[in-house]
Amino acid sequence: MKELQELAAKLLTDGAVQVVIGYEEGPRGVRPAFITDPAQAGRLVFDARCVQNLATYLNPRRKHIVQLGKSAVVVKGCDARAIAGLIRERQIARESVVVIAVRCGGVLQRPAENAALNSETISVRCAGCDVREPKLYDYLLGELPPEPPVNAARSEQIAKLEKMTPAERRNFWNEEFSRCIRCYACREACPMCFCVQCMADKAEPQWIDPSPTLESNRAWQMMRVLHQAGRCVDCLECERACPENISLGLFSRYIADAVEKRFEYKACDDPAVAPPLGVFSTEDGEEFIR
Amino acid sequence: MPYNVKPEIGHAWSPKIVAFVCNWCTYTGADLAGTSRLKMDANVRVIRLTCSSRVNPLFIIKAFERGADGVIVSGCHTGDCHYSTGNYYARRRFAILHDLLQFMGVEDDRVTFSWVSASEGNKWQEVVNETTDRVRALGAFHAPLQEKGGETL
């Protein structure tokens, strides 16, 4: 942590960056911090409560942060994938951001929790993580912590859903989507949702009915998931932001698995890898086409 | 029940199927089926698009939302696309859409993806008849599901 604070102070003093986006102690757990004064760098912390994906703040749509100047951002491996995604999709230039990557030993489910990491408290997204030591960075800090425990709750739930009949699955999702209030918190929290105008906000033509009915909620979530296919970095910020606790994480895992199985693509922190739905192979499977 | 699906009073239920077809192959193929006087179920509403890659997955979701019971998506065989590569990109999107629809609990038989060339009038007839039969067997998409029961997670 000292290493992180010193680096942040140095970057700000040298004028290499104007703002360091990191984590600080807040009234309810760890919260994002925007440090512009080198004297304040001591506020930065990093531990298992640092759940938030700070790559969201690099989104060019967030003008209030862009106007602060060049930023350095503290990331875990999973967040580095989001930065790689933004670079891959030409939203930011690699030179426009200083990536301070921290080796990660897994995170908790919520930043306000203060528990030891075990297979119940650890986030489901840490299961099978292969980017605990990110490859996309300018500075790489910390020692590599031991292999974290695995929380298999999500994969068990997906397996359970897959065993159901289609009607049962539809009932399950109907129950989930009927709770949606269309606050679009899932979209706002997402590092990869950067469209200047979201299709859900378009009135002419109106793709998605803005009132929260079951049908329009389903259409909205399916659209969101399809737009995220092959781009989602599985940071689970959508699920954490959801005030109705809709199981949005089930989608991100399921689609990521489908993309991996079909196109041999896994979300990675290498910006040079082509997005799977932006390219094709003549050998792609078409067993579902008659 | 979606807001704009009106029950058809005095009519027995019959499946409504929307077909998104490409102009260059399947539409011409369907035209051939028509001019060849092939007998087909009259449940399919054809929507002509320039290419199968013009089919936004939202079209299919919206079709179901607006009261369709089944959907057919059809274009040129791979390698035959009028725009060279359109259907290769479309194939990737359809693959993901196909998996997502399954995960959402839309029966596999409700959505037919097919490649029908301009000379395959017979194949178009088969696609239409088979899809209609399968959707008819499944029943209306917006029928109340609660009665069928379902395990909650």
Residue-wise pLDDT for A149-184, tens only, equals: 999 999 999 999 999 999 999 999 999 999 999 999
pLDDT number for residue B106: 92
Which of B1, B65, B113 should we substitute to test contact with A (largest number of A Cβ atoms within 10 Å)?
B65
Element (H, E) at B64: helix B57-65
> Residue A185 above 80 pLDDT?
yes
Residue among B78, B104, B152 whose CB faces A222 most closely: B104
> Is residue A92 scored above 50 in pLDDT?
yes
Q: In what order do the strands lie in the sheet with B44-49?
A: B44-49, B17-22, B70-75, B111-115
CA dihedral B40, B42, B44, B46 (to 10 degrees): 90
Q: pLDDT at position A50, please?
A: 93
Pick from B104, B115, B120 the residue to mutate for testing the A interface (most A CBs within 10 Å): B104
* Amino acid B2: pLDDT: 54
Contact B2 A215 (CB under 8 A): yes
> A170 to chain B nearest CA, in Å?
4
Q: Which pLDDT score is estimated for A19?
A: 96
The answer to whether residues B115 and B90 touch, using CB atoms and an 8 Å cutoff, is no
B116 Cβ contact partners less than 8 Å away, ≥ 6 residues apart: B21, B25, B26, B29, B30, B74, B75, B123, B124, B127
- DSSP letter at A40? G
- Measured CA to CA, the distance from residue A196 to residue A59 in angstroms comes to 11
Q: Do A290 and B127 touch (CB under 8 A)?
A: yes
How far is Cα A31 from Cα A112, in angstroms, rounded to an integer? 9
Residue A262 to residue B96, Cβ atoms within 8 A: yes
The alpha carbon of residue A11 is apart from the nearest alpha carbon of chain B, in Å, by: 43
| Residue B140 near chain A (CB below 8 Å) | no
Q: Which domains can be identified in chain B, with CATH numbers?
A: 17-148 (3.40.50)
Check pLDDT > 80 for residue A130: yes
Residue linked to tokens 């009106």: B6
ipTM of the complex: 0.90
pLDDT under 70 in chain B at which residues? Answer: 1-11, 143-153
Looking at the complex, does the CB of residue B141 fall below 8 Å from at least one CB of chain A? no
pLDDT score for B8: 57
Residue B130's closest chain A neighbor by CA? Answer: A290
Say yes or no: B119 contacts chain A, CB-CB below 8 A. no
Please write down the HEC assignment for all residues of B3-60: CCCCCCCCCCCCCCEEEEEECCCHHHHHHHHHHCCCCCCCCEEEEEECCHHHCCHHHH
Is A172's CB within 8 Å of B150's CB?
yes
Looking at residue B6, what is its pLDDT?
56
Q: Residue B101 is encoded by which pair of tokens? A: 């629809």
Instruction: Give the C-alpha distances (Å, rounded to integers) separating A64 from A59, A60, A68, A125, B33.
Output: 11, 10, 7, 30, 59
Per-residue pLDDT for A89 more than 90? yes
Cβ–Cβ gap B58/A173 under 8 Å? no
| CA closest to A172 among chain B residues | B152
Q: Out of A27-36, A112-121, B124-133, pick the least confident.
A: A112-121
* Shortest distance, CA A23 to any CA of chain B (angstroms): 35
Cα(B127)–Cα(B57) distance, rounded to whole angstroms? 20
Best residue of B69, B130, B151, B152 to probe chain A, by most A CBs closer than 10 Å? B151
The pair of structure tokens assigned to B54 is 């013009």
Q: Do A280 and B150 touch (CB under 8 A)?
A: no
* Neighbouring C-beta atoms of residue A162, cutoff 10 Å: 11
The H or E element spanning position A159 is: helix A153-163
**Residue A139 scores a pLDDT above 80:** yes
Answer yes or no: are the C-beta atoms of B108 and B135 closer than 8 Å.
no
Instruction: Give the span between the Cα atoms of A218 and B61, in whole angstroms.
Output: 9
Whether B149 contacts chain A with CB within 8 A: yes
For residue A278, give the 3-state DSSP assignment: helix
pLDDT at A94 over 80: yes
Report the predicted TM-score, pTM, of the whole model to 2 decimal places. Answer: 0.89
Digit-coded pLDDT (tens) for A187-202: 999 999 999 999 999 8
For residue A69 the two structure tokens come to 């100047």
Q: What is the pLDDT of residue B149?
A: 43
Give the percent of chain A with pLDDT over 90.
Answer: 79
Best CA proximity match to A253, nearest among A153, A166, A171: A153
Q: Which amino acid is at A29?
A: G
pLDDT score at B10: 58
Residue-averaged pLDDT of chain A: 92
